[in-house]
Amino acid sequence: MPTVREPSSEIDAHHSGVKRAGLIGHPIAHSRSPAMQQAAFGALGISARYELWDAPDAAALAGRVAALRQLDMLGANITIPWKEAVIPLLDDLDDSAYHIAGAVNTITRAETAHGVRLTGYNTDAPALDQTLDKQGAWSGAQRMLILGAGGAAQAALGIAFMRGVEPWLAARRAETAREAMAKLAARLPVPEHWRDHTLALDDLSTLTATLRDSQILINATPVGVGDAGASPLPLDLLAALPSGAAVLDLIYAPPETALIRAARVRGLRAEGGLPMLLYQGALAFTLWTGQPAPLDVMSHALAIE
């Protein structure tokens, strides 16, 4: 297990030449992170480039992470399906990854007296919190329903705990949801009864009842990536949500998913994944460079209005 350490934004940058950062995951061809990060590097005059590093299997993941120890590396982002699997390959974990999210989506590289250290952070969790805050979702919220059980869902569970909002978790299999909730309980002092707040996505009666009492709905599954017609749940179930509920789909390609369209038709507050992509990318940029991220430039690169 990597050492847990306090957050730090100071990144070693004394080596000359073009630095590199990139996205590790599979699939990643759809990612808009390169445009956003490259625009930020250019705006601040940083000699660096952001690349896509496909890792279709565990061996490729290990190789990509090992390469981050090279002199020209700034760090990396981690995405599906490696946010949890990458943890044993790192030297240190920030509290954002170790306790709050239980997963890593950003890696920094630093040279120390004892050699290169790779530290894992989670910028998804604070970005998710910021996105929901901008959406006005936290006001009066008592329950959150999260669809999915992977790294993004873990980040949402952690933020729900920090905000004092009761989470429910729905996955394709009820057992998967229970395992994900157990991971949360293993790292944070959650109430005992939260362990029972799990269900299967095909249990429509329980899903409907849970939606009826949820002020926030988050899609943390990959259902809808590249498919504007796909939805993680039957769209007519959105009628069960209270008026004024907030819906957040973490998918950003397409910018408006079927879930978001249906939620907006019903007059619900609904947001796609681009703002969260922006905020988590900005936090990662600062971790790599030690400089405030140029949010306006990054937002323009993502074509966020």
Q: SS3 of 40, please?
A: helix
174-187 and 151-163 helices cross at what angle (nearest 10)?
50
Task: Tell me the sheet residues that pair with 166.
Answer: 143
Q: Which residue has the tokens 């890696």?
A: 107
**Nearest CA-CA partner of 167 in 188, 271, 251, 285:** 188
Residues counted in the chain: 305
Q: Which residue has the tokens 């565990």?
A: 58
DSSP character at residue 45:
T
Burial of 255 (0-12, 13-18, 19+ CB in 10 A): middle
Token pair for residue 144?
């959150």
Amino acid sitting at position 216: I
Q: Does the active-site annotation cover 183? A: no
Contacts of 241 (CB under 8 A, 6+ apart): 211, 212, 214, 217, 247, 266, 268
Considering the candidates 19, 83, 134, 183, report the single residue annotated as catalytic: 83
Verify cis geometry, omega within 30 degrees of 0, for the bond prior to 294: no
DSSP character at residue 221:
S
Name the residues annotated as catalytic. 83
